[in-house]
Chain A
Amino acid sequence: MVDTGLLNRVMFVEIALLVLAVVIYFSHGLWLFLNQRRLRRSTETARESLARLVTRGTIVVEDIALLRQLRHDVQENVFLEISRSLTGAGKERLRFVAQEVSLLTRARKLCESGSWTRRLRGTRVLSRMDVADPMVAKLLADPHPAVRAQAAEWAAIQPSLPIISTMLTMLADPATQARFAVQDALLRMGGIVAEPLAAFLETHSGLPAEAGLRVAGALAATGFRPAAMRLSGSDDAGVRIEASNLLGAIGDAPSAERLTELLKDSDSRVRSAAARGLGRMQHWQAASQLAEGLRDAAWHVRRDAGLALRSIGAPGALFLRRALKGDDAFAADMAQLVLDLPEAAAAG
């Protein structure tokens, strides 16, 4: 018969691993159960105390003491939970209490930590509590993108010219996560961003310009026009697309003139964006150039030119009908498709 010594040894190790896993699994389950039961009680009491402190506006020493005694993670959760539904004076009182129970001091300490996860946690607390702390502004330059993104989220509610200026430089952030957060934060800041952003766009190109143009496109202020005009001549097709979108959103006569020129751009996505922009502003003067777009080699340019003609109204419809009888079968097909569309679909 076979020597089963090796198999025995292997099986022994496996059984030991299995037993260990089962013990950990059930012990963790038991710990979770007991912990949740204990925390449920203290969390409920803490919520009541905090709600009293925030709504009444008077300081009850016992409540503060109770909150101070809480486990740090529970304390943090209770404060962050209530902070979501508070603004103005209520939030101000919440911040006061948070300071009293040392939550904000701890968060500031976390922001100085060498570990990015701790810095992220600290930034999240200060950000949710809307604390105007220069410490968070410094974290806009943190080495970890998640921390930078969180600091950008904080910046959205602390709009000031120095912060906006830092945020604009972050449009060149190599991390997409941070860049997205910055773009979103700039948008949330609203009109205050328009002037510095316009100045930024006038002097920048490439990726930061493209990211900035996206924000500008959503704000659509006429002050962006000079920069949009300049950037619409960029070597980078991505920048030209966003510049076209912005010009379409601005929608004044000089923008329309530039968009008409962009219908002849070498990149089909730029031609498409230009056609969409002209259609959006119902610029009937560009109808003949848009009709040329019906003969474009790229399908999406033909579609966008057709839809733009349709949205222009009678002059556009005239060109579409003319294309039906033209020598270009692709243009005729697209014109037919566009003319067949019901009113709502064409407008959409």
Chain B
Amino acid sequence: MSESLGISGNQLLIGGQFVVVAYFLVVNGWYMLLLVSSLLEMRRHMLLIADESRHLLLSSTLSPTISILAPAFNEEATIEGSLRALLALQYPNLELIVISDGSKDKTVQVLIERFDLVPVKTIYEQRVKTKAVRSLYRSSTYPALVVVDKENGGKADALNVGLSFAKGELVCAMDADTLIEADGLQRMVRPFLYATDVVATGGTIRVVNGSEVKFGRVVRTRVPTNALAGIQVVEYLRAFLFGRLGWNRLGGNIIISGAFGLFRRESVLSAGGYLHDTVGEDMELVLRLKRLSYERGGPGRIAFVPDPVAWTEVPESLKVLGRQRDRWHRGLADVLWRHRRMALNPRYGVTGLVVYPYYAFVELLAPVFEAVGLISLSFGLFLGIVDWNFAALFYLTAYGLGTALTAFTLILEDISFHRYDTFRDRTLLLSWALLENFGYRQITVYWRLRGLWKFLRGKKDWGTMERKGFKPLAAPTSGA
């Protein structure tokens, strides 16, 4: 069969394999640089926060007001618990704005009953065009709680409405079902107090699946036994602890998770708020803030703070996870396309010359290279051009360095926050880190390629996210 392809065909196939391996090595080499950068950054951060007294910030009248924007859509089952946890956050000047984005269930009624909401009127400036607001409520029990009931317009629209009503100097954008640790905001606000050029800060998102949750707080951290969720724990650690932290030092952060991010309200409003017609609205906003800072000359630093932690539930079904990854990749492609003028443009400094090409070449095109490598390897095996020894070597070489880097990320977590401190958790984490190379990575390649394809075809739907709900602590037995 190999003869039918001819010598040049064989060489092309083998050459292609080496190109793919070289790509993996270059990418992983860059990851190594990020890992070193994140190690240095983590060391500096840990020295700064060791035994710091945030109680001063907590009681200072000079602390900036933070308005939490929590968009909610059909969340009647979980909204009460989520809000009670948010209302218990430790921060002095806090406002909580829940935006019901045209919920079709009883989200608003549940809120009215459980939080003693009364209809109110207020004067607000609509600087960003949004769908109509139906009504506005304030809680008579918790005066800091405001609920906006509006027509459905998507998450970006809901956040824009929240921006209009917010009174805080800073706004915290989050998902209604994100669990923020009690002192998360105190930690997250630090960069705004330390520098005047910061426009946004992001914190670490961790996977809550498998952990125990009580009253909206994670009380016991455990690595999930479900393989899909477990591998995502590893992915999240890698993304946040060495990806974003590493970029922090290199001045190239352009992603803040939509599940938990803190922004300077005026900067977001001046930039035009969140965009409606993209599925990557959080990354788009951050990149726009960054771009405008170069064009208009204002503040534009994006800071990542590793210690404020928010917990999120990740999908445990392939179908839902596939939709999520497909959407993320479409979002990435869309954002990079919208801001393509930044690519390799010296006007945009590090962002244009380093960060943008990294995201385009490494993040966006990774599934293409990976798919080419895997398909050509299968072809080579099928046609007898490569033998099984070569195939195994190629596979292990391509994924080996990535796995080693993941293991170093686990060490970074262990020497800094060590949330997963039992032998069981360590073994599970390492197992998931090894296992992700066999099947999981390949299927994510397919999902991301699907996302890329959909982007090229102009599809902009969100898909639906199904959640199992948090695992509560076992109820105490009665009669004790």
Seen from chain A, the residues whose Cβ lies within 8 Å of a Cβ on chain B are 1-2, 4, 7-8, 10-11, 14-15, 17-18, 21-22, 24-26, 28-29, 32-33, 77, 80, 117, 120-121, 124, 128, 145-146, 153, 175-177, 180-181, 183-184, 187, 214, 218, 299-300, 303, 306-307, 334, 337-338, 340-342, 345
Contacts and interface: CB of A to CB of B under 8 A. Distances in A.
Interface string B400-416: 11011001101100110
Contact of A21 (B390, B393, B408): B408
A115 B418 CA distance: 26
What size tier do the contact residues of chain B reach?
35 or more
Contact of A18 (B25, B403, B421): B403
Contacts of A17: 401, 404
A175 B438 CA distance: 50
Interface stretch (B115-123, B272-280, B327-335, B469-477): B115-123
Contacts of B52: 124
A187 B61 contact: yes
A64 B239 CA distance: 48
A340 B123 CA distance: 10
B480 interface: no
A341 B122 contact: yes
B318 interface: no
B1 interface: no
Nearest to A334: B123
A32 B411 CA distance: 12
Contacts of A341: 121-123
Nearest to B434: A18
Given A184-B62, A338-B123, 6 more contacts: A11-B396, A14-B403, A21-B408, A33-B421, A176-B196, A180-B193
Contacts of B394: 7
A26 B426 contact: yes
B397 A10 contact: yes
Contacts of A177: 193-195
Overall SS of chain A's interface = helix
A168 to B, nearest CB: 16
> Top 3 nearest A-B pairs by Cβ distance?
A14-B400, A21-B407, A17-B404
B51 A18 contact: no
Nearest to B401: A14
A303 B61 contact: no
Contact of B125 (A117, A176, A300, A306): A300
B400 A11 contact: yes
A303 B123 contact: yes
B111 interface: no
B414 A303 contact: no
Contact of A24 (B25, B51, B411): B411
B404 A2 contact: no
Contacts of B387: 1
A294 B396 CA distance: 71
A342 B120 contact: yes
Contacts of A18: 400, 403-404, 407
28 contacts: A1-B387, A2-B386, A4-B389, A4-B393, A7-B21, A10-B21, A18-B403, A21-B404, A25-B410, A25-B430, A28-B411, A117-B47, A124-B51, A124-B53, A128-B53, A176-B193, A176-B194, A176-B196, A180-B193, A183-B62, A184-B56, A184-B60, A184-B62, A307-B123, A334-B123, A341-B123, A345-B120, A345-B122
